[in-house]
Structure formats: structure tokens, C-alpha cells
């Protein structure tokens, strides 16, 4: 149902599978078929999760999967009631997303450009690819899954806009700045040159529909590999690797746009958020920064 009717992404389907497998193991231990568990037993399951030390966010996610499961059974007539409908999600504090300052992003981009320029031999193409990935991340605010699965022909004819297929199969258009276009052009020139050299030597080159091809099972660069390379670049740049990730750069993209007066609805569209309440978290980031600015510099704040 999630796949056919809602168009859920593969990552979403796998997450639901893991959570329901965990809940199924609880049902086995309770010696009750999963479809027959009652409200109190589901509450007891949440208590087990708490005892296991799971974070509030993890418990909420697992409860969400359980709710969807019983709602499905009820709608399909496989149960006469929905035992999970009365259960409230665990309360959690609203955490502000990690982000980077404009100066930190500029420094990271500068180091990536230097690494790409100075790399030689087999290290050259990976360095140029990482620069391209970084420029694209910050220029577009793409989700990491959207970025690594970009098709090679993702740019529109005028090269100033790209079409992105996001969650639930929803498509959106995102503008592309000059730095990102230049980085893509440079990367593709080196990628094609490598393929040409391989063909001359009688070797198989990358013949992939993806912009960032790989010889792995998926055929494209993996999220894990991108994260690994970004953290390696953070070390070279003198930044804390734990503070650098594709998602942090997506946060930086949104925060920096709002700082400069971008409309919240426009940012929502660029990020591909279905609900504007998801985008509003970035306004809290700005509020916190302003509060900190006053506390640090206003003479009457001490």
C-alpha cells in the first residue's frame, strides 16, 4: 500500500520494514499475533522501547509505523477497531537543526576547489567529483538521496534550472547557480575523458544514466561514501567532521536563504517539503541566532 498508493521511497519502505519487524518480535514474545494486539499491549511495547534506552525520536518513529499498520488493518476491514489511534506519541524537545555559517561553507568550498585543482593521477577525478557534489548541495539544498541519484541528463536545456524527483515521486524545479554549473561542466569533462582513455585501452568505462556513476550494486555513488568523503574534507578544512554532513549543508542552504530575506513558501518549494511546518523550523534557527547575537553583544544583556 505504501509503495503502490503513496509512492513511498525505497528508504521509507525499508524503515517501515525494520520497525515492524521489531514490533513483530515483541508480539512473538507476547505470544499474540501482531494483528490481534490491543491498546494496552501497544503501550507496553512503548515501555519496552523506553527501557531499551531508545531516544524519543526513535520511539516516535516506531510508533508511527505501528499506527500506520493498524490503520491499514482497520481500513481494509481486517480489524473492527484501531487499537493504536488512542496512543499519543512520546513528547520530545524541539531540536534545532545543525547548520553552518556562511563563512564555514565558503571555507569548505574553497578547500574543495583547492583539493580538486591540486589532485593528480587517480585522485584527481574523485576530488573534482567531491567539489561538484559540494557545490550542488549548497546551491540546491537537495536531499542526499536526490543528489546521488541525479540522472546524467538532469539539467534543463538552458542549464539554469534542474528538475528533481523527490519524496513520493513529486517533482520540483530548482535554480542552479554559476559556480555549480561550472563545477558540473568540469566534472563531466574529466569523467568523459577518463571513459575515453578506458575505451582506448580496451577497458570498460562507466556507461551509466547517473551523474555520479559507480561500479557498485546501485550503479551510483552511495550516500555512505559521500558522507565519508565530506568528513574527510572537513578534516582538511580544519572543521569538526561531526558537524559536516549532506543534511547539514541542506540546512545551511535553507537558513542562509531566509537570513537574506527569502520567502518561506519559496524555500519550502525549493526544499521539496510537503508541509510548510517542516520548513518553519529554520525560522526558529534564525530566532535563536538573533537571541544569541543580542546576548553576546548588547551592553545591557549581561
List, for residues 136-161, the tens digit of each pLDDT value. 999 999 999 999 999 988 887 778 88
Q: Residue 198: pLDDT band by 50, 70, 90 thresholds?
A: confident
Supply the pTM of this predicted model: 0.65
Higher pLDDT, 286 or 24: 24
| Residue 116 pLDDT greater than 70, yes or no | yes
Q: Which residue among the candidates 61, 67, 190, 247 is catalytic per the annotation?
A: 247
Is there a catalytic annotation at residue 250? yes
Q: Which residue among the candidates 62, 143, 220, 251 is catalytic per the annotation?
A: 143
Q: Residue 94: pLDDT band by 50, 70, 90 thresholds?
A: low
Q: Which residue among the candidates 59, 223, 256, 273 is catalytic per the annotation?
A: 273
- Residues 6+ positions from 181 with CB-CB distance below 8 Å: 159, 160
Q: Which residue among the candidates 167, 172, 190, 289 is catalytic per the annotation?
A: 167
Is there a catalytic annotation at residue 143? yes
Q: Which residue among the candidates 129, 223, 250, 251 is catalytic per the annotation?
A: 250
Is there a catalytic annotation at residue 170? no
Weakest mean pLDDT among 38-47, 144-153, 269-278, 293-302:
293-302
Is there a catalytic annotation at residue 167? yes
Res 262: pLDDT: 84
Residue-averaged pLDDT of the chain: 87
| Residue 216 pLDDT greater than 70, yes or no | yes
Question: Rounded CA gap, 177 and 257, in Å?
Answer: 14
Amino acid at each position: 500500500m505504501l509503495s503502490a498508493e503513496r509512492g513511498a521511497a525505497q528508504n521509507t519502505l525499508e524503515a517501515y520494514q525494520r520497525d515492524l519487524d521489531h514490533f513483530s518480535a515483541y508480539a512473538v514474545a507476547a505470544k499474540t499475533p501482531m494483528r490481534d494486539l490491543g491498546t494496552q499491549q501497544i503501550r507496553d511495547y512503548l515501555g519496552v522501547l523506553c527501557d531499551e534506552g531508545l531516544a524519543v525520536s526513535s520511539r516516535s518513529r516506531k510508533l508511527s509505523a505501528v499506527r500506520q499498520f493498524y490503520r491499514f488493518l482497520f481500513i481494509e476491514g481486517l480489524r473492527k477497531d484501531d487499537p493504536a489511534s488512542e496512543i499519543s506519541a512520546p513528547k520530545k524537545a524541539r531540536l534545532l537543526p545543525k547548520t553552518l555559517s556562511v563563512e564555514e561553507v565558503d571555507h569548505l568550498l574553497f578547500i574543495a576547489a583547492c583539493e580538486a585543482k591540486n589532485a593528480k593521477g587517480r585522485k584527481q577525478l574523485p576530488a573534482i567529483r567531491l567539489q561538484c557534489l559540494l557545490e550542488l548541495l549548497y546551491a540546491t539544498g537537495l536531499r542526499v538521496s536526490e543528489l546521488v541519484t541525479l540522472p546524467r541528463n538532469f539539467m534543463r536545456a538552458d542549464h539554469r534550472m534542474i528538475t528533481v524527483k523527490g519524496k513520493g515521486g513529486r517533482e520540483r524545479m530548482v535554480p542552479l547557480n554559476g559556480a555549480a554549473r561550472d563545477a558540473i561542466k568540469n566534472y563531466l569533462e574529466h569523467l568523459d575523458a577518463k571513459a575515453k582513455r578506458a575505451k582506448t585501452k580496451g577497458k570498460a568505462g562507466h556507461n551509466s544514466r547517473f551523474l555520479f556513476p559507480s561500479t557498485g550494486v546501485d550503479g551510483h555513488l552511495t550516500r555512505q561514501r559521500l558522507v565519508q568523503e565530506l568528513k574527510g574534507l572537513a578534516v582538511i578544512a580544519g572543521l569538526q567532521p561531526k558537524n559536516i554532513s549532506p543534511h547539514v549543508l541542506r540546512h545551511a542552504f535553507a537558513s542562509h536563504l531566509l537570513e537574506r530575506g527569502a520567502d518561506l513558501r519559496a524555500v519550502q518549494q525549493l526544499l521539496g517539503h510537503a508541509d510548510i511546518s517542516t520548513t518553519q523550523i529554520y525560522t526558529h534557527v534564525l530566532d535563536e541566532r538573533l537571541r544569541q547575537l543580542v546576548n553576546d553583544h548588547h551592553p545591557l544583556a549581561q
